[in-house]
Amino acid sequence: MKEEPVTKEVARRFLLGAVDDSERQRIESLFITSPDVQATLLSAEEELFDDYFEGGLSVSDSAKFVERFGRGERQQRKLNIAGSIRNYALSEGQRNRASSSIVEKFRHLISLPAVGGRRLYIPAAVTLVLLVIAAIWLAQWNNQRQSDADLRLALERELNHLNSPSNLTQEQTYVSVVLPPLTLRSSNQSSQTVSQTAHQIVELQLLLTRKQELQNYRAVLRRVGSADEFILPGLRPAKSSAGSVVKLRVPARSLPRGHYLISLTGSPDAPGEEYDFVIGG
Amino acid sequence: MRKISIVTDAHQMPRNSGFPAEKFNDLLAWLNPDSEQASSTYLNLRQSLLKIFAWNQCADPEGMTDETFDRVARQVDTLRESFKGNPKLFFYGVANNLIKEYRKKIKVHVPIEGIELPEAAPGKHDDEEIFEKLRECLTKCLQKLPGDKRDLILAYYAKEKHAKIVHRAALAQELGISVETLRVRMLRIRTGLEECIERCLDEDVKKK
């Protein structure tokens, strides 16, 4: 009988534990002896981790993944480490994109237009003054950037802590706000406002509308007009007086005022839902 | 008894190996007669076995990898004379036996992981401390990486979803390699980084 080549698909099935024992042994011995199979398997594993952290696995694959790669304390720790590397790189990427766009704007400001095919040259003195101003501005901007980064890190830490599985299972007396998805809101209904001064921490209950509940959800929180995103994976559905919800705790006091959007996704097969709220004074 | 000191990367060495260095040299020579290449063949085989034990959800992949090398080393004199074929397959055979033994053992013993223990939920302080420590170890280990590897891993994971595909293709093109090769290269860097973070976290536990 001709043996099935170890394709990406076969590798994925193997990694999710969906092959029998003889197939497992066949693939493992090829992994040991064939550089091509080794590359296929390692590449498939990397892709699988990407899909898991991006919420791109189907419900059953997600369950298989957790069973294979997140069982027991040691494996969970490994998974947390892998997730933290991705989150760190993502936030670094966002920060770099934001800073490079400002530099681009700055560069645009100091470039001069061409007149009659000839470029105008600024006198050295003007350049020097501009450079000094730019240096002062850059230093101030850099300080601001650093403080923004510290603020973001603190916020990310707090959000992760508030929404960690161990914390979410504990009953806390937070003020709850039920948010229906945007698709269900009538046009004359305004966004829920959360008062920063009245509430320190608010539990947002994101109302689930689909009949089929998924095991895990992933929320992406962002302020409208800001490139910063906070990704919160591994949120579980819960029952509340409003129905099935996904609870998301936010530190109202630490969030800058403004309009916020939350994208909630559970599986790649089902479209996600969006929710919004306003942080007011 | 003298311990093995051939492999340069300390954490890649068998941890509790009881066999002498001469036997280890024999093992390397059996794996690859070219002494220059034998070392890298050994490291690659070691990494592969670690992966296999981890995929099979063995509790201590490192310990079982060491045990595989120990078991083969004990037979290396006979093997050199009698074994025909790719030596790596013999290693895999031994590793597979260990996996089967492990499975039998966990069937006999009640798995601790399966028991529903009353949840000793970490308090707010514990959670924050764990997150803080993880972040600290991640930063420390990223600093230990050579600059090009650090830049690459940060660039590689800087985007997600559809943007990630375009971004990684551009990265691969810049490096003159395929996206697949880039992905494998990244996995190796990430594995090293994860090991560093785990050691850092373990050191912290030991200090306490």
Tens digit of each residue's pLDDT (9 = 90 or more) over A106-127? 555 555 454 444 455 556 777 7
Tens digit of each residue's pLDDT (9 = 90 or more) over B46-101? 999 999 999 998 888 889 999 999 999 989 989 988 998 999 999 999 999 999 99
Rounded (10°) CA dihedral A276, A210, A204, B127: -120
Give residue B208's pLDDT: 65
Distance between CA atoms of residues B195 and B189, nearest Å: 10
A130-139, A149-158, B90-99: the lowest-pLDDT one: A149-158
Mutate to test the interface with A, among B180, B195, B204 (most CBs of A within 10 A): B180
Distance between CA atoms of residues A140 and A143, nearest Å: 5
Q: For residue B185, what are its two tokens?
A: 């290269």
Is residue A103 pLDDT above 80, yes or no?
A: no
Higher-confidence position of B4 and A211 = A211
Question: Which residues in chain B are closer than 8 Å to A92, comparing Cβ atoms?
Answer: 154, 158
Contact criterion met (CB below 8 Å) for A227 and A148: no
Nearest to B55 among A15, A80, A96 (CB): A15
A232's enclosing H/E stretch is strand A229-235
Mean pLDDT of chain A: 80
How far off is chain A from B157, nearest CA to CA, in Å? 5
Which residues contact residue A194 at a Cβ distance below 8 angstroms, ignoring those fewer than 6 apart? A177, A202, A250, A252, A277, A278, A279, A280
Q: Three-state SS for B110?
A: coil
How far off is chain A from B87, nearest CA to CA, in Å? 9
Give residue B19's pLDDT: 64
Phi, psi for residue A104 in degrees, rounded to 5: -60, -45
Interface check A25 vs B, CB under 8 A: yes
- Long-range own/partner contacts, residues A184-190 (CB < 8 A, 24 or more apart): A184/A209
Amino acid at B104: K
Interface check B140 vs A, CB under 8 A: no
Other CB atoms within 10 Å distance of the CB of residue B105: 10
Distance between CA atoms of residues B137 and A84, nearest Å: 11
Q: Three-state SS for A274?
A: strand
Is residue A193 pLDDT above 50, yes or no?
A: yes
What pLDDT band is residue A24 in, cutting at 50, 70 and 90? very high
Distance between CA atoms of residues B14 and B65, nearest Å: 8
Nearest to B154 among A43, A50, A92 (CB): A92
Give residue A71's pLDDT: 78
Q: For residue B7, what are its two tokens?
A: 């492999």
Amino acid at A239: K
Nearest to A169 among B121, B124, B160 (CB): B121
Question: Which residues in chain B are closer than 8 Å to A90, comparing Cβ atoms?
Answer: 157-160
Q: Looking at this predicted complex, what is its ipTM?
A: 0.79
Single out the residue of A14, A39, A16, A18 nearest to residue A28, CA to CA: A14
Residue with tokens 């989150």: A87
Question: Model's pTM, two decimal places?
Answer: 0.60
What's the per-residue H, E or C state across B70-131?
A: HHHHHHHHHHHHHCCCCHHHHHHHHHHHHHHHHHHHHHHCCCHHHCCCCCCCCCHHHHHHHH
What average pLDDT does the segment A92-105 reach? Answer: 67
Interface of B with A in 152-181 (CB under 8 A): 153-161, 164, 180-181
CB contact under 8 A, B157 and A29: no
CB contact under 8 A, A82 and B159: no
